[in-house]
Structure 1
Amino acid sequence: MDGKKLEYKGEEALKDIERLTTKADEVQKNILKEILTRNRETEYLSKYMKGSKDILEFKRNVPIITYKGIRPYIQRIANGEDSSLITGHPITEMLCSSGTSAGEPKMMPSIAEDLNRRTFLYNLIMPIMNQCIPGLDEGKAMYLYFIKAETSTPSGLPARAVLTSYYKSKHFKGRARDSFNDYTSPDQAILCNDSNQSMYCQLLAGLIHRHQVLRLGAVFASAFLRAISFLERNWVRLCNDIRTGQLDPAITDPNCLSCMSSMLSTPNPHLADEIERICSRSSWKGVLCQLWPRAKYIEAVVTGSMAQYIPSLGYYSDWKLPLVSTMYASSECYFGVNLKPLCDPADVAFTLMPNMGYFEFIPLGENGTMLMDVGEEEEVPNDKVVDLVQVRLGCYYELVVTTFAGLYRYRIGDVLQVTGFHNRAPQFRFICRRNVLLSIDNDKTNEEDLHKSITVAKKLLEPYNALLVEYTSYADTSTLPGHYVLYWEIIQLIQGSKPDHDHGLAAATHTVLLLDHHDEVLQECCIAVEEKLDYIYRRCRAYDKCVGPLEIRVVAPGTFEKLMDLFIDQGGSINQYKTPRCIKSQVALKLLNSHVQASFFSPRDPKWIP
């Protein structure tokens, strides 16, 4: 595709954004009308609307639900009943959520045209990026994408992750091979079911093309950091492949063998020497810029719970590469894009595209104060919700979506804050999932509160050149009173330390040494977390004495990668994996506890008098 066609394609995408956001109200009404017209005779809608397609009747009569409300219908379709239970179009697949953020995997219905909507949103990203960083069509993108082996429902419908669905679709495989879609990873490597072989081949391809790479990334920051850890353990093998022109014998997948063998057709000892010099250095600080010197940014989700990974990504890039979150999507629906992708990660806001589904919002509060008065399973009055164009600047909302595939007034569970508007379309900052993570008594701590408190506490590690790379939590009620337990993986960055290629970044540490000599640092971290939690928690701790002192359990380097492996082995996807911020699985708790190196408790009660 020549430059003029590329420019035209980008201009058309940007015009679409302006057109849709300028008429957001009209577009939303037309979307809902179309959904009701198509689906009014379904069993689900007929129960509430008796064949009507009137919008006011929809808003009066159709309840706002959680997964519990739609699950029986989805299960019936999975077992072989007709799609007409919930949608007027055949359901072609069930999309499986990861289950790591909400606690249980869910199956979401999908129809064929949903792929068109997802592709539409993907096609907006590069025109937006190219406005900010011209010349991105002059090199390659090293994007690390993975699929997960799919299963089938009893009726034979494919059941798979939403990204696996997209990568296996004709939309991805047949995408225009223009220079914006010039990936280092061959499709055969992306589509390999063995995640280790896929990772190896994609990193090998990225290293072979290291001087052409302009963009780095993965879907989530956690997956990108997993790739760096994998590279630390395997760079010697990768260099050997490049030096000899022979693929490592551990790669046995036929499609990977085929595509990578042709890429390695000629030995390249000079390139292998370059990579070896970089990877054998004592510190991996800034390694991304050294391995891929032309890279201009890292694309990965770093909002919400992924914000935890920003310091690690900054370390590996020496803070020279912007961290870009381009879009907001879920298994249920794709929502919107970031029109200012080079903004600070803390300021990321997504503009919801009004043609992706019908959006409503449950008000939660304003002026920075979240009113968590609508419980996860509580009934929400129909007149409580507002439309897309009715949200107010600065206020917090829970997102509710209605889709063509059969979700009606479905609570996504995400808490968003309105930060601005693009034309008539609001822009939202993702705050957290709408679930309570920890509770012992009257206390209720959510993801955002936990993240804020840990963000404050981990700063106490900085004077010791130590970094909190990952965390999760657990409400321990095995003792009286029960107490919060935080699992922390800490590394100490020592410039002169020798990397240990069995443990990746964590090897540049002497973590146990740090803990042995600075017990008070971790104790102060405990109390810093407690001091930042809300008034009710602090009162339960210091006055009512119904919650015990908070505990930090420091786990061995690499523990959270083992936790990720556990969830992937249980059916999770690398692409969609998010470290659970609260652990409920006994198997996962057993794994974490088996790697605890040291334990610390709050040395005193937190201040609680307001």
Structure 2
Amino acid sequence: MSIFRNLLPLTKASRAQEEQNGEQEQLPTPSQYPQEAALQATVLGLAALSEAHPAAVLAPGAVGRVTPTSPWPCSLPWLGPILGQEGPPGAEDPRALLLAALRSPGLRALEAGTATELLDVFSRLEAAGEELVEAIAAGDSGAPLPGRAAEVRTALEQGPRGLAPRLWPQLQVVVTLDAGGQAEAVAALGALWCHGLAFFSPAYSTSGGLLALHPWSDQPQGVYLLPPGTPFVELLPTRDGAQEDDTRTLLLAEAQRGKEYELVLTDHASLTRCCLGDIVQVVGTHNQCPVVRFVDRLGQALSVRGEVTSERLFSEALGRAVAQWPGAKLLDHCCVDSGVLDSSEGSALHYEVFLELRGLRNLSEENRYKLDLCLQDASPHYKSLRFRGSVGPAQVHLVAHGAFRALRAALATGLSSSAPTAMPRVLKHRRLAQLLQRKLLS
């Protein structure tokens, strides 16, 4: 290991292409996942899911996928026909997938690439519900089903809370691939459309394409196993969300329970040791492998005056602020340094915060300011800068439904694959920030 570290010094994830193209950093395509790791994650995930929900996985025709992307890292062509999952005609068309699922009242498992994609599916369903109901009744993509069309219309008329169990009374579990920035979507789905359903993720896909596994049926979601093998993973100790001065990495078996580490990945093709920016907390062990929870992403920190407001700190402060807004449910959010938008207009630099909420279409200035107060409570450094006037109060903007769906579509433009992507919480390029600006409600 000493020779390995000396020959391959640590590097940061390259931002050269991001800066050149004006794009946010993206997850790799599935072809970049090591095949062995992808197959392992898929088979172990299927085994765990079938143990927890055997009727939802093993019964033919019980699974409905509603997004072009799949939550399973590895495609298993032999599995679809066995389980009656050949797919509807036009299976890469989101509308065709959703329509096929709506025509099948006996679904027991719902699959989507990521939780944010599933959130988009339910938003689309509410917006185009009547058109889809008419298509079911008229026999679009199959025989006319007027009775089923009436059931779908009735379910939609009762509102978003518990919509999925009403549409599919036998539904047990929602399966999505976990990635960065998905926690808010999972919380929103669990509180509204998928209320009362179990969630399952077979793996965690990081910014470097690493697959951490979830091979258990009895462990809580959000807990993953870091396995040995390809790709080669090391752990870099961190303190208070930042790297320690000592850059000596640890092997998986050397991880200590309760400690936090940044993942370091060695690309076997280019032999580059890269710090991914993904922070994990060790919560246990499985044999000699660490069991971890992904807690932060260093690349998603805000800083306008040298302060570092991490993704974790900001999300916690935002959650406390939203809890003080009566009736509000947070669906999604993004932040922008005011310098990116040139919105300071001679005043102090500040955070621009874009929110998509359910149950609230306007906020008083007093309620908007509660986010800034929560940030000050969470970060003494931020509070000091606010007291001195070096940083202005965070500006909160509400965007229309569908704004973040449009943002994700813009982020996916130019990708060679429709692979599930991490959701950015800090936008670094004006073009993307202006897309949300054009969708403002207030």
Q: TM-score, normalised by structure 1?
A: 0.64
**Secondary structure, in 3 states, of the residue corresponding to 1:442?**
coil
1:177 aligns with 2:97: no
- 1 CA distance for matches of 2:64 and 2:305? 48
Q: Does the CA contact (< 8 Å) of 2:301 and 2:310 recur in 1?
A: yes
The 5 Å alignment of 1:477-488 reads: 477=339, 478=344, 479-488=346-355
Q: Given the superposition, is the C-alpha separation of residues 303 and 562 from structure 1 closer, same or farther in structure 2, using an over 3 Å criterion?
A: closer
- 1 CA distance for matches of 2:196 and 2:266? 41
Tell me the equivalent position of 1:372.
242
1:568 aligns with 2:412: yes
Q: Given the superposition, is the C-alpha separation of residues 485 and 530 from structure 1 closer, same or farther in structure 2, using an over 3 Å criterion?
A: farther
1:474 aligns with 2:318: no
Tell me the equivalent position of 2:230.
356
Tell me the equivalent position of 1:320.
196
1:138 aligns with 2:64: no
- 1 CA distance for matches of 2:390 and 2:210? 42
**Cα shift at 1:554:** 2.1
Indicate which of 248, 256, 262 corresponds to 1:398. 262
- What code does the residue aligned with 2:305 have? D
Tell me the equivalent position of 2:304.
440
**Cα shift at 1:327:** 0.7
**Cα shift at 1:110:** 5.6
Tell me the equivalent position of 2:394.
550
Tell me the equivalent position of 1:63.
9
Q: Given the superposition, is the C-alpha separation of residues 491 and 145 from structure 1 closer, same or farther in structure 2, using an over 3 Å criterion?
A: closer
Tell me the equivalent position of 2:136.
242
**Cα shift at 1:304:** 4.8
> 1:276-335 deviations in whole A, cap 9, x for unaligned?
2222x1422111001111111112256752111234202334631022222122464443
Give the root-mean-square deviation of aligned CA atoms: 3.2
**Secondary structure, in 3 states, of the residue corresponding to 1:439?**
coil
- 1 CA distance for matches of 2:80 and 2:192? 32
Return 566-575 or 387-396, whichever deviates more.
566-575
- What code does the residue aligned with 1:351 have? L
Tell me the equivalent position of 2:150.
273
Q: Does the CA contact (< 8 Å) of 1:436 and 1:444 recur in 2?
A: no
Q: Percent identity?
A: 21
Q: Does the CA contact (< 8 Å) of 1:526 and 1:552 recur in 2?
A: no
- 1 CA distance for matches of 2:413 and 2:54? 41
Tell me the equivalent position of 1:607.
none
Q: Given the superposition, is the C-alpha separation of residues 275 and 319 from structure 1 closer, same or farther in structure 2, using an over 3 Å criterion?
A: closer
Aligned pair count reads 433
- 1 CA distance for matches of 2:182 and 2:7? 38
User: Unaligned 5+ residue runs, structure 1?
Assistant: 1-54, 76-95, 148-162, 193-197, 248-259, 375-379, 493-508, 599-610
Tell me the equivalent position of 1:418.
282
Q: Does the CA contact (< 8 Å) of 1:146 and 1:164 recur in 2?
A: no
Q: Given the superposition, is the C-alpha separation of residues 470 and 178 from structure 1 closer, same or farther in structure 2, using an over 3 Å criterion?
A: same
- What code does the residue aligned with 2:138 have? T
Tell me the equivalent position of 2:48.
128
Q: Given the superposition, is the C-alpha separation of residues 62 and 174 from structure 1 closer, same or farther in structure 2, using an over 3 Å criterion?
A: same
Indicate which of 188, 192, 200 corresponds to 2:95. 200
The 5 Å alignment of 1:590-605 reads: 590-598=434-442
Tell me the equivalent position of 2:90.
189
- 1 CA distance for matches of 2:30 and 2:194? 43
The 5 Å alignment of 1:458-607 reads: 458-461=322-325, 464-477=326-339, 478=344, 479-492=346-359, 511-512=361-362, 515=363, 518-532=364-378, 534-542=379-387, 544-569=388-413, 571=415, 575-598=419-442
**Cα shift at 1:227:** 0.8
Q: Does the CA contact (< 8 Å) of 2:29 and 2:417 recur in 1?
A: no
User: Unaligned 5+ residue runs, structure 2?
Assistant: none
**Secondary structure, in 3 states, of the residue corresponding to 2:294?**
strand
Q: TM-score, normalised by structure 2?
A: 0.87
Q: Given the superposition, is the C-alpha separation of residues 573 and 277 from structure 1 closer, same or farther in structure 2, using an over 3 Å criterion?
A: farther
**Cα shift at 1:216:** 1.1
